[in-house]
Amino acid sequence: MKKALKNKLKTLEYSSLSPSGWLKNQLELQNDGITRTLDEYWGSVGIYSDWIGGTDNSWERPPYWLDGLVPLSYLLKDNKGIKKAEKWIEWSLKSQRPNGDFGPTYRTSEFDEPLFWPKFVMLKVFISFYEATKDSRVIPFMTRYFRFCLAQLDKFKMSSWAEARGGDLSYAILWLYDINNDSFLLQLLNKVNGQTLHWTDMFEEFPFTRPTNYYYKWDSIMANTTRTSLYNIMQYHYTHIVNVAMGVKQPLMNYRATGDKKYLDAVYKGLDDLYKYHGQVAGVFAGDEHLSGVNPTQGTELCSVVEYMFSLQLLLEATGDPMFGDLIERVTYNALPATISEDFKAHQYDQQANQVLVSNAKRNWYNNEDDSNLFGFEPNFGCCLANMHQGWPKFTKNAFMLGEEEIFATVYMPIEADIEIASKKIRIVSKTEYPFKGDVSFLFYMEENQSFKFNLRIPEWCSKCKLLINGKVVEHGVNGNWAVINRVFSNNDRVEISFEMSVIVKHGWYNNSVSVERGPLVFGLNIKESWHELERGINQYKYYEVYPESPWNYALNIDKEMVVEEFGVSTKQAFSHGHAPVRIRAKAFRVHNWEIENNSAGELPVSPIVGDTEEEDIELIPYGCAKLRVSLFPWKSGNGKK
């Protein structure tokens, strides 16, 4: 049988990674704020869950939570979190039955279809657990389960959520295949790929060029059918935003199985179309449950943010294309922190690119509830509360990737990594305040000199960078968007790269609006925020509305120079509204007829705008620091009224 294609790059395991600087602080805030204590306050992952032997049907939620708790606990070496995670993992390991199946059972037949999809997530948990511990039980456990799947998928077919999200099962199969090269796994891979939704076809001929509401009127559908039958009435799974974020990886699984480049081409074309018809400035797609177009007041679900980050990681591994590193940074450094409170005790179900009011009120969502925009413990639905935890911990695996006797600095962050090249150990320490500053230094520690290539990703937004080795500016080779250093490295060598972070005003967004960007960061208007606690919540986990206490309806004067002020990271939460590490001062004009409509910023005025208001000074801060913001601006040229 033909072998599966290998990935171009290989990530490091969690046992080799030690986050530092602001990134470690971010992980600690997440751990203390919500992840480690979630089981103490939320019954879905509590002691009565069927994923730990109880009777509560908690479906995907415990695996989702563990998918973040496991890597987070081991990255931080947090013994309390590790003990919690191991309790759940031990139960699943011991639950495996003679036929190879595992986990809770609602069985009416040998194949337990309702629980098939959640097991995909639990397999990802086992992968993280193995990479952190090398527990010898994981490989035979997964092997037995995959043999069970191979037998069952001749008699039963994947359907519903499993059919939509089969790419995650294919990922786990290929992960095991890369370890043991067992040929039966390729048979299973082909079956799973064949029974998964046809994401390749969708991305090759993208059909949803308008918001889902144009094709399917939700209220009308629900008034005339039942929830269970709507899957057959509308293209529910193909437009569901989380399925789309997961589905991006599925053609990649076909590509690795067959070597046919059409599958890889489909990913690139699909991403182009998704950004064209549903793209948002923070690097994600609009989907207030289903694809919702390019208007910056449509919502983007938190689950889709973290799932898209993981899909992009797999694309970067498989292709080595630095474009995916750019996208990972854009999503992670903007969309992820923007939708979670600074103390990690509240999150939104839906964020907006132009978000000038957070309230429990009706908005132009496709089918999400009125509380989807609140910061709270469990707004709208519990999936995001369960699934948000994987975002920051899994992000760390993008820092360094390996080729054949090559090291790639793929995504920039403060972190330390232990690496082996030609059976020789190297420790790399990355020190940086990136993405707020453009300087990154790498310290190399090793027992003896070693020859290898060190490749540094040059971001697409960077027009100029400077490279130093041991304090001396050097010329460097370039391979695509990689700066290449090919030399003999010695202990205590230092490589420094400095990216020029110019302010870029990017045109071509909704209604010809503009964004303001610097490095991987998108900037939004710094609106004074008034947080109002609501009478709901659980102990320290409250719900909040956020009201603007300063004007927000500005048009940028794009002819005036914008001034950057760097303050550096001065608080434990780097993405702090009150202590933003970098700010931009700009000139703007009020647009008085641009007002709140339907509890969101009204229709974005078409630019260039006309008007005769006085020019004002405004301040912009990183998108991720602003819980209220305008990040797509109308604009005008000229001096206006003085």
| CA–centroid distance for 387 within its chain | 11
Number of H helices, E strands in the chain: 21, 27
Helix, coil or strand: residue 220: helix
Q: Which residue has the tokens 């801060």?
A: 621
Give me the pLDDT at residue 637, please: 81
DSSP letter (8 states) at residue 110: S
Under DSSP, the state recorded for 606 is P
Residue 357 in contact with residue 291, Cβ under 8 Å? no
Q: Which two tokens stand for residue 308?
A: 């898209």
E strand or H helix at 127: helix 116-133
Identify the CATH class of 36-196: mainly alpha
Q: How far apart are CA 571 and CA 105, in angstroms?
A: 47
Structure confidence at residue 1 (pLDDT): 64
Q: What is the pLDDT of residue 642?
A: 36
Q: Are the CB atoms for 441 and 494 separated by under 8 Å?
A: yes
What is the phi/psi pair of residue 498, to 5°?
-125, 115
Residue 108: per-residue pLDDT: 59
| DSSP SS3 for 62 | helix
- Residue segments in the chain with a per-residue pLDDT below the cut of 50: 640-642
The residue whose two tokens read 């948000």 is 388
Distance of CA 373 to the CA centre of its chain: 19
For residue 210, which of 288, 297, 278, 300 has the smallest C-alpha distance?
Answer: 278
Report cis status (omega within 30 of 0) of the bond before 551: no
What pLDDT sits at residue 640? 46
With tokens 């033909």, the residue in question is 2
Residue 520 near residue 577 (C-beta atoms within 8 A): no
For the stretch 443-495, pLDDT in tens is 999 999 999 999 999 999 999 999 999 999 998 766 679 999 999 999 999 99
Q: By the 8 A CB rule, do 335 and 284 touch?
A: yes
Q: What is the length of the chain?
A: 642
- In 3D space, the residue among 170, 104, 145 whose CA is nearest the CA of residue 137 turns out to be 145
398, 328 contact by CB (below 8 A)? yes
- Amino acid occupying residue 104: P
Burial of 316 per CB tally in 10 Å (0-12, 13-18, 19+): buried
| Contact assessment for residue 170 and residue 253, using Cβ atoms and an 8 Å cutoff | yes
Q: Beta-carbon neighbour count of residue 547 at 10 Å? A: 15
Write down the domain spans for the chain: 36-196, 503-636
289: left (phi over 0), alpha (psi -120 to 50) or beta: left
Task: State the Cα–Cα distance between residues 243 and 479, nearest whole angstrom.
Answer: 34
Query: Do 402 and 10 contact (CB within 8 A), yes or no?
Result: yes
Q: Tokens for 247?
A: 């589905």
Give the pLDDT confidence of 537-564 residue by residue, as tens digits.
998 999 999 999 999 999 999 999 999 9
Q: What angle do CA 322, 324, 326 make, to 5 degrees?
A: 75
Q: Which residues contact 577 (CB under 8 A, 6 or more apart)?
A: 342, 526, 529, 621, 625, 626, 627
Q: Do the beta carbons of residue 395 and residue 435 sit within 8 Å?
A: no
**CB–CB of 246/267 below 8 Å?**
no
Question: Which residues sit opposite 400 in a β-bridge?
Answer: 409
